[in-house]
Amino acid sequence: MRTWEIQTIKESELKGTYDIGIVLGGMMSYDSQLDRLQFSKGVDRLLQAVQLYEDGIIKKILITSGSGSITYPELKESPLLKRYLQTINIPDKDIIIETESKNTRENALFSTPLIKKAAPGGRYLLITSAFHMRRSIGCFNRLGIKVTPYSADRYSGGPRRWAPDFLFIPNPEAFEAWNILIHEIIGYCVYKVMGYS
């Protein structure tokens, strides 16, 4: 995973401010009985965006995510995440949502008109999981949206550990990482063949 992931940089290494921080969805489910968002590991994407916004690095947050559910197509992620951002006092004027995308290609395709309207010719920071960044950059670049990557949700974060317990004791989380890696490499290859990235 370490070789595949696009490594992140320190916030201090970002040059200047960005007009829009583009956050790709896929980080939550919704419990309608409790009216509660249930966040998954991918929520680091949103948390990093909030920090960057609070620090004045990004001016606006664009969340791109529709519904990935076949049975509940009306349950769209970005409006729910917008509602969450409003509860932590992010002003409505600084939140943009794209509600129809179901995959990475559509994230880029459906976000492009919103980006061009909100900040034509601006600077854009792409915030998604490190393992997902290669395919995401390709999709946005293909549509003429030049983005700076800001990786979140890293599986291989931090320096390599050479401790015996890390090297020799089997870790079941490694199977999850392999599953994610294989899925992402196949997706990347398919997108290249299809001309999406």
For every residue of the chain, DSSP letters joined together read -TTTS-----GGGS-S-EEEEEEE---EEEETTTTEEEE-GGGHHHHHHHHHHHTTSEEEEEEE-----SS-TT--HHHHHHHHHHHTT--GGGEEEE----SHHHHHHHHHHHHHHHSTT--EEEEEEGGGHHHHHHHHHHTT--EEEEEES-SS-SSPP--HHHHHS--THHHHHHHHHHHHHHHHHHHHHHT--
Checking if the pLDDT of 4 tops 80, the result is yes
* 157-193 tens-digit pLDDT: 666 667 777 667 777 777 788 888 898 999 999 999 9
- pLDDT for 84 equals 96
Note the pTM of the prediction, 2 decimals: 0.88
Q: Which residue has the higher pLDDT, 12 or 161?
A: 12
